[in-house]
Structure 1
Amino acid sequence: MAKSTQHWSKIGETGSIIGMKILLSCYQLFGRNVFRLVLLPVIGYYFLSNKRARHASQDYLKKAKPLCPKQPKELTSFRHFWTFGELLLDKFLVWMGHIQPQDVAFHNQATMQHMEQRQKGGIIVVSHLGNTEICSALAHQMPNVKVTMLVYTQHAEKFNRMLKQANASANIRMMQVTDMSPATAMTLSERIEEGEFIVIAGDRTPVQSNARTTVVPFLQQPAPFPQGAFILANLLKCPVYLMFCLKQEAKYHIYIELFAEQLTAPRKARDQLLNNAVYDYAKRLEHYCLMQPLQWFNFYDFWHIEPLNSHTKLHKKGH
């Protein structure tokens, strides 16, 4: 892993909106094969020039390889970068409406029926595994379900501009936030009461330095995970779902799980509740991550633990 311990939110966006436009135009004009030809030098340059991201990828894959005995030769850092580039195109295709129903396979149908039949919404915890944008497919599979995605403002700006240009009428809302203020929490509560689902990533440490994290085992090494999604669920007293989307054999597979009907506990047991929730989430993320390890895209020192963080003790379930 790179020696730099810079927080992920301080790392500038890679690439420019012009570069993304060029790649998207190549696909629109010439198709996927030409897109791949143009993508090769782009990914090659990024791979060679971005030492921090390359070392982060290598460190992650080093941890994943012993747990993926069937595909160790495939787990190279360049393949990791290449997969990221290919899935970037798929993100745009989703928002342009080019992903057809036959391109997506939904698992856990009973859970989806549960979501659709409820009068109240909830929280969907996602990750940087696979293609999170595919969650917009929920709008097609369940037309009565509304979705709002919470995104970090700074890193979302360029990508959001591209999405709007690709499809200004995309049937999903984004809310850009850096912290969870009382006003934001109230807005989210109102949306959930109206049956809306709030999508939030659970595998990026908080932007605010005083925000809460829990250190849990991930790929057999201690890593800090945010409590934010579960604090919000505890506050709003709503159901929590997990969603993972993996590209397998040229098709997207969406896995939705009911994580908890409610995350509630007496005040004295609240910390234990949140720590256990983070632990359980990390185990599920690890499970799906090992199914398609090249599709987890956190190109920074994910396992770095801040020395002054008050939650640096490794949490084990039930402790």
Structure 2
Amino acid sequence: MSADGAGWEAQRERSSAFWVGLLVWVLRRLGRAPARLLLWPTVAWFLIAAGSARRASRAYLRRVLDREPTLADVARHFFTFAACSLDRLLLTGDQGRQLTLNIHRSDAVLALFERREPALVLVSHFGSFEALRVIGSELHEMPLKILLDRQHGAIVTRLIEGLDPGFAASIIDASERGPTLVLALRDAIRAGYSLGVMADRVRGDEPSVCVRFLGAQASLPTSPWVLASALKLPVIAAFGIHRGGRVYDARFELLETAVDLPRADRDAALQACAQRYAALLEQQARAAPYNWFNFYDYWLTDRAAD
């Protein structure tokens, strides 16, 4: 797909401080509808100039739609991404009430929420994880801290932190390594927070396993399962799905009540956990195909063919 075969960490941030600032100004002064109109020039730019992202979108849509995607499909994919990014700015303030957030929880998840039991919450580049954070915070049922690399998408991250000081407090910086990160995670758990971890991308030389996803081989990180096992946390998969317009659905599914990684079969146990998550992620992607936002060379099969 991408000519250089670079992964997501090698991609530069395409937003500019001026453009994001203009969007915020229009959003705050004129409202969401005029701001959404400004997203179309961004979509047009991606269609014309962002060749690797366009090819990645086509490769994904070809798999999830089971047909050859049209240019309109790719444009819709980019627009959904841009719209979710714009709504992140709404969700940082009182204008978030313009959005409708519907919550869907299994009985097992509801029981965890009612007991205020911390969990490891697997989030992904699917729809809006910001909607999940806000829902958890406002309901006081699942106060959530997200493990997030502040350096990736730094322009938007700094802007959101400026608009909503509480956002910075809800983030644990994934760029920290070693004892500093471990202590931050343990402190969050002891304070009653659940931990949100991005589970659909592999960072650099991070340990990973190969899974079957949308009919091909892909890599998923093993760190969420190692973390859940070490901290003795149940694992919940969460998806903030943009349904169009102002509507988001937040879906929470209990994936593991406990993660056991026996020394003798550790690799097999990690593989099984990751594959269960991949199957659930595929189910969500097929139900809402334009919500998945990994615009880079994702499948191992495609990389081998380059």
Regarding TM over 0.5, the answer is yes
Per the alignment, residue 242 of structure 1 pairs with 237
CA 1:14–1:249 in structure 2 vs 1: closer, same or farther (change >3 Å)?
closer
Would you say the 8 A contact 1:53–1:300 is kept in 2?
yes
Give the deviation of 1:3 after TM superposition.
3.0
Q: Which residue of 1 aligns with 2:85?
A: 88
Q: Which amino acid aligns with 2:76?
A: R
Cα gap change, 1:115/1:98 in structure 2, threshold over 3 Å: closer, same or farther?
A: farther
Aligned partner of 1:278 in structure 2 is 274
Question: How far apart, CA to CA, are the structure 2 residues paired with 1:179 and 1:5?
Answer: 26
1:121–1:194 Cα contact (<8 Å) kept: no
TM-score (norm 2): 0.90
Shift of 1:295: 1.0
Task: Specify which of 285, 289, 292 is matched with residue 285 of structure 2.
Answer: 289
Shift of 1:42: 2.4
Q: CA deviation at 1:50?
A: 1.0
Q: Residue 109 of structure 2 contacts residue 254 of structure 2 at CA under 8 Å; is this kept in 1? A: no
Residue number in structure 2 paired with 1:106? 103
Deviation of residue 254 (structure 1)? 0.7
1:12 match: 12
> Match for residue 313 of structure 1?
none
In structure 1, give the amino acid aligned to 2:288. Q
* Cα pair distance change 1:275/1:179, threshold 3 Å: farther
Letter in 1 for 2:235: V
Which residue in the other structure is 2:115 paired with?
118
1:160-179 aligned at under 5 Å gives the runs 160-170=157-167, 173-178=170-175
Q: Do residues 304 (structure 1) and 279 (structure 2) align?
A: no
Task: Pick closer, same or farther for the CA change 1:227–1:101 going to 2, 3 Å.
Answer: farther
On the 8 A contact 2:210/2:220 being kept in 1, the answer is: yes
Residues 123-272 of structure 1: matches in 2 within 5 Å?
123-135=120-132, 136-141=134-139, 143=140, 145-170=142-167, 173-178=170-175, 180-207=177-204, 209=205, 211-250=206-245, 251-272=247-268
**Residues 1:153 and 1:36: Cα distance change in structure 2 (over 3 Å):** closer
Q: Please identify, of 156-165 and 254-263, the stretch whose mean Cα deviation from structure 2 is larger.
A: 156-165
Deviation at 1:161, TM superposition (A): 1.1
Q: CA deviation at 1:57?
A: 0.7
The aligned amino acid for 1:47 is: L
> In the alignment, is residue 57 of structure 1 matched against residue 52 of structure 2?
no
Percent identical residues: 25
Q: Cα deviations across residues 192-229 of structure 1 (Å, max 9, x unaligned)?
A: 1332111011011123x2x2111111110111111111
**Contact 1:67 1:290 survives alignment (8 Å):** no
- Find the aligned partners of 1:278 and 1:37 in 2 and give their Cα distance: 39
Q: How many residues were matched structurally?
A: 302
Whole-Å separation in 1 of the counterparts to 2:244 and 2:161: 29
Counterpart-to-counterpart distance in 2, 1:17 and 1:115:
41
The letter of the residue matching 2:58 is Q
Q: CA deviation at 1:291?
A: 1.1
Question: Distance in 1 between the 2:158 and 2:197 partners?
Answer: 20
1:111 touches 1:256 (CA, 8 Å); kept in 2? Answer: no
Gaps (5+ residues) in structure 2? none
Structure 1 Cα separation of the partners of residues 102 and 157 of structure 2: 26
Equivalents in 1 of 2:180, 2:302: separation in Å? 29
Change in Cα spacing, 1:67 to 1:52, as seen in structure 2 (3 Å) is closer
Higher relative contact order (CA 8 A, sep 6+): 2
- In structure 2, the residue matched to 1:3 is 3
RMSD: 2.5
Superposed CA offset, 1:68-89 (max 9, x none): 9xxx779711111111111111
State how far apart, in whole Å, the 2-side matches of 1:101 and 1:197 are: 27
Q: Could you tell me which amino acid in structure 2 is paired with residue 300 of structure 1? A: Y
Please give the alpha-carbon distance, in whole angstroms, between the structure 1 residues aligned to 2:82 and 2:302: 30
Q: Quick one: distance in 2 between partners of 1:77 and 1:245?
A: 21
TM-score, length basis structure 1: 0.87
Residue identity opposite 1:277 in structure 2: C
